[in-house]
Amino acid sequence: MRNLQNKSSAMAKGRSSRPLLIAGPCSAESPRQLLETATALAATGKVDYFRAGVWKPRTSPGSFEGMGSKALGWLKEIRQATGLAICTEVASVKHVEEALLHDLDMIWIGARTVSNPFLVQELAETLKGTTIGVMVKNPMAPDLDLWAGSIERFRQAGVGQVSAIHRGFFYWTKSLFRNHPWWHIPSGLKKRMPDLPVICDPSHIAGNSKMVPLIARRGLELGMDGLMIEVHPEPARALSDARQQLSPGAFASLILQLFGGQEGEATHYDGMLEELRAEVDVIDQVLVWALSNRMKLAGEIAGVKAHTHTGILQTNRWEQVIEGVMAKSRESGLRPDFIRNLFDQIHRESLSIQKGSPENKKPGICHTFAI
């Protein structure tokens, strides 16, 4: 079994070795499905770990929730037949105990589980004294401290082989992505923990098999130490996450593109432009959402000012606001003139909303300005 820590050190010295590759179906559905997939993956000569979900955390009861413990035996048979190391997701102490009993090479902690520090601590304590590898997915929310804290819990428990998986973050409105990548967060994790391998999961970020190659390449170019990709012999018939899984043929083609120099530069940059524009679209939506909520607050403030006979324009307050945002802009590397002009426009719109507030139009309200 590969040692992720040694691999990370080698890559830090100039990518002298290729990234770690983890691949397999979202869910273990049958021995035949697993063997067909694993045989094709092993034939590429590039895959290090075979992945398959045994227990599937589903949003709604009654959905396919995995084949359970019996599928762990199927995974052991895959290792014997193909030589691939095996891994699955665990979400409870019982799952960990079952995985250890079946001698899995590695396990991963899912995004929902990582979001619960109490449960993470229980899992870490259960793993004390073991040699199994542990991969920690990012939490649902874009919270770097929560992610790093979960990793530290396993390290403090003495788990020697710990890595992280970037699978994207929950976003509350429709987007090209299933989970928004917010690349600065895994980059921040790598800066905070330079010796920690960080693996990109383009399947869960994209949520769409057509986007997986773009996200995979983007992750590697941003310094991710490996990829976890979902592969199914018949993606359209998969019992979970059918849209985001590649066929074995598509996976082999992707590996050739990433490591065999089979993709032209123009094709690569056309695809990357689409992915980058998708990220811009999401951030634009965040900006509109933030501005909308800021203006709603301006309306509420107008009501308070009207009832307290406070002037709409409060110069001291505005000076505090602009001083704060200008300081933040300098920290962020933004041009001061751009930020000043932007917030002047935001301030004018806020004042306009306050002047037009129904509370300020009531008889007897004095429209004074505290200048």
Rounded Cα gap, residues 312 and 358, in angstroms: 14
Residue where a domain terminates, one of 194, 229, 263: 263
Residue 319 tokens read as 């000076």
* Residue stretches of the chain with pLDDT short of 70: 1-16, 172-175, 261-272, 275, 357-371
Q: Are residues 192 and 329 in the same domain?
A: no
pLDDT tens digits along 218-242: 999 999 999 999 999 999 999 999 9
pLDDT value at position 268? 55
Of the residues 243, 263, 283, the one at which a domain ends: 263
User: Domain check: are 274 and 302 in the same one?
Assistant: yes
pLDDT tens, position by position, 115-171: 999 999 999 999 998 999 999 999 999 999 999 999 999 999 999 899 999 999 987
- 225 and 274 within one domain: no
Instruction: Indicate if 282 and 224 belong to the same structural domain.
Output: no
What DSSP line would sit under 188-238, residue for residue? HHHHH-TTS-EEE-HHHHHSSTTTHHHHHHHHHHTT-SEEEEEB-SSGGG-
In a domain, 106, yes or no: yes
Residues 86 and 209 in one domain: yes
pTM here?
0.75
Are 248 and 341 contained in the same domain? no
Confidence at residue 359, expressed as pLDDT on a 0 to 100 scale: 53
Query: How do beta strands 133-137 and 85-90 pair?
Result: unpaired
- Give the residue from 3, 12, 2 showing the smallest Cα distance to 195: 12
Q: Which among 263, 290, 323 is the end of a domain? A: 263
Check residue 8 and give its pLDDT. Answer: 41
Residue 119 belongs to domain with CATH number: 3.20.20.70
Domain hosting residue 340, numbered range = 269-361
Instruction: Give CA–CA dist 20/84, Å, rounded.
Output: 13
Q: Tokens representing 286?
A: 């965040």
